[in-house]
Amino acid sequence: MKRVLVTVLVLGVMVSGAFAASNEVNSVNVVGFNRVSLDSNNWILVSAPFIQMGTSGIQDVFADQMVSGSSQGNADNVIFWDGASQSYIINWKHDAGWVEGAKLSTQEVFATRCFWVKSNTSSNQNVTMEGEVISSAVVTQTLHSGFSMVCYPFNASASVTNTALDALAVAGSSQGNADNIYKWDPVNQQYVIYWKHDMGWVQGAKLEDPTFDMGEGFWYVRRTNSVDWVETIPYTL
């Protein structure tokens, strides 16, 4: 049975310390986790929507999660996208750690970096990502000319028309000459494609306003020059 589950738990942690004899500084670190389910031999397109509290290296972020094998084809994969070169960066799980090419991977997992997680094994499993909730006033992602793998960069969900991305999108008369959003349907293992018309976003034969879920990666297809997508934080911590 195919399934997908996203669970988020957010906790407030208070840290205090003496700044000077008469001054005390208090700060709040809001932490949480995002758990997604990965079915046997399926793909999911996700992000790790937190600031890592330790190292952001793939070896530590995923640690003992997922299933190892002797080759890329029989082990679980984490696959990044290089928007500048328009090419994939493939990592796979070996008993010794995550491998890229002929060596242990040094790839970094950070809040706006999206990636595929591919199961090449026979068991269903959960994949958990955790860290501090994003508190930056703005977050910038580059939309490359061509394909970019991006996400809504905060710990919330948002419809595309409520984001700065909507105003950046280039409208056209068809999917082929307009900016596109490719959302991955993990249940049916296929894309749902939206394209920008002067009247709004089109999916199939009707207007729709797609929602970006927290921790969900998606493809953005840019028809013209590269541009920065600058998004403003939607919440107060």
The pLDDT score that the predictor gives to residue 20 is: 34
The pLDDT score that the predictor gives to residue 26 is: 38
Residue 112 DSSP code: T
Domain coordinates in residue numbering, the chain: 6-132, 138-232
3-state secondary structure of 114: strand
Whole-number Å distance between alpha carbons of 230 and 152: 11
φ, ψ for residue 92, nearest 5 deg: -135, 155
pLDDT < 50 stretches in the chain: 1-27
Whole-number Å distance between alpha carbons of 68 and 174: 43
User: Is the whole-model pTM more than 0.75?
Assistant: yes
CA torsion, points 168, 182, 214, 229, in degrees to nearest 10? -20
Q: How far apart are the first and last CA of the chain?
A: 38
Instruction: Give the bridge partners for 29, in sequence order.
Output: 13
Residue 216 DSSP code: B
Residue 160 CB neighbour total at 10 angstroms: 20
pLDDT (tens digit, 9 = 90+) per residue, 64-97? 999 999 999 999 999 999 999 999 999 999 999 9
CB 160 within 8 A of CB 58: no
The pLDDT score that the predictor gives to residue 123 is: 87
φ, ψ for residue 176, nearest 5 deg: -75, -20
The pLDDT score that the predictor gives to residue 28 is: 58
The closest alpha carbon to 121, from 190, 198, 42, belongs to 42
Within the chain, strands assigned E span 6-20, 23-38, 43-47, 77-82, 87-94, 97-100, 103-104, 114-118, 125-132, 138-143, 146-151, 158-159, 180-185, 190-197, 200-203, 206-207, 211-212, 217-222, 227-232
